[in-house]
Amino acid sequence: MEISQEGVQTLAAVLREGTFDGAARALHITPSAVSQRIKALEMSVGRVVVRRTKPATATPDGEALVRLAKQWDLLAAEARAELLGGDPADPGRPRIHLPIAANADSLATWFLPVIATMHAEHPVAIEVLRDDESQNSRFLRSGEVLGAITSDPLGIRGCTIHPLGAMRYLPVATPDFVARWMPRGPSSEALAQAPMVLFDRNDYIQRDVLTRLADGPVSPPISYIPSSVEFHRAVELGIGWGAVPEVQIADALRAGRVTRVVDDHVDVPLFWQYWKLSSPILDALTELTVTAAAEHLVPVSAPRSSR
């Protein structure tokens, strides 16, 4: 079985652009040439690699080849950078595209400085795909990213996994909100009526906290605020109560702008997963990520919740 670089890069372009025509424009070739390259790749590996839908999607075998294309691109870019030599901070030096995945709360608290350090010390241009940490593994499986912050403790085949610690979430609200909606504490009846803030419809941390506090399912009024910074501001403004990362809400707690709804917390274990490559860039990012997580996350205790 021979896998051509041209074939896998064409496949990656088809999936990135969504159509054969889009891939042809991106590669500056004809749609017929794109089709011929894909057919040649499928004949070489003996598998169908792309579903001819709109947009085009990869088969499981195609996903494996797209991962190869991403890894190929990174290693080739690193080799070019090494051959060029010079100062990584040189403005004229080409930057290596590095796609990774991270959750919004990590980005808003401890992970963005990691990205800043990578840009300062290495010739990279990092692209962050953002989703809930429980969903980020799919970006690795599909080959869209080379590394990801996830809550999945199971390593993906071909990946290395590092435990990072846990992000602690505290259920909080403003004192006025608690006095109005939970004057006798967070009973099931009170929680069924008290407005709540969720990040989005996939935010199951909030739903898990609600179910545990209410000792069963309830359906309160919900406001969706799909931004980590604006989420905790929404809680501070009294829009509703919610479980906010401790590192984000600590100042507001000390100042009395919010109070804990209950003396409880949720610890969400996080992991850094990345493809096994002999890549100095990925190794540097991994070292910075693990070091920063050790400073800002709490040690993982007995499982309480997952996200």
Confidence band (pLDDT; 50, 70, 90) for 94?
A: confident
Confidence band (pLDDT; 50, 70, 90) for 186?
A: very high
**Mean pLDDT value of segment 148-176:** 90
| Token pair for 255 | 């100042």
**Mean pLDDT value of segment 235-241:** 97
Identify the structural domains of the chain with CATH numbers, from first to last.
167-268 (3.40.190.10)
Q: Identify the three-state secondary structure at position 153.
A: coil
| Token pair for 53 | 């839908």
Has this prediction a pTM greater than 0.85?
no
Residue 294 clears pLDDT 70, i.e. is over it: yes
CA torsion through residues 74, 76, 81, 82, sign:
positive
The whole-angstrom separation of Cα 245 and Cα 229 is 10
DSSP bridge partners of 170: 244
The average confidence (pLDDT) of the chain is 87
**Mean pLDDT value of segment 21-29:** 92
Residue 64 clears pLDDT 70, i.e. is over it: yes
The whole-angstrom separation of Cα 47 and Cα 157 is 20
Which of the 8 DSSP states describes residue 109?
I
Q: Identify the three-state secondary structure at position 271.
A: strand
**Mean pLDDT value of segment 265-275:** 92
Confidence band (pLDDT; 50, 70, 90) for 93?
A: low
Residue 286 clears pLDDT 90, i.e. is over it: yes
**Can you give the pLDDT at residue 210?**
92
The answer to whether the beta carbons of residues 66 and 8 sit under 8 Å apart is yes
Residue 79 clears pLDDT 80, i.e. is over it: no
> Could you tell me which residue, 80 or 266, shows the higher pLDDT?
266
The whole-angstrom separation of Cα 300 and Cα 258 is 26
Residue 303 clears pLDDT 50, i.e. is over it: no
CA 207 from centroid of its chain's CA atoms = 20
| Least confident stretch, 182-186, 216-220, 232-236, 292-296 | 216-220
**Can you give the pLDDT at residue 304?**
44
Residue 31 clears pLDDT 50, i.e. is over it: yes
Torsions phi, psi for 191 (to 5 deg): -70, -25
Percent of the chain with pLDDT over 90: 49
How do beta strands 242-245 and 266-275 pair?
unpaired
Residue 29 clears pLDDT 90, i.e. is over it: yes
**Can you give the pLDDT at residue 140?**
81
Residue 158 clears pLDDT 70, i.e. is over it: yes
CA 6 from centroid of its chain's CA atoms = 29
**Mean pLDDT value of segment 80-93:** 62
**Mean pLDDT value of segment 287-293:** 96
Residue 131 clears pLDDT 60, i.e. is over it: yes
Residue spans of alpha helices (H) in the chain: 5-17, 20-27, 31-45, 60-84, 104-106, 112-121, 137-142, 175-181, 188-193, 204-214, 228-236, 246-255, 280-296
**Can you give the pLDDT at residue 128?**
94
**Mean pLDDT value of segment 153-160:** 80
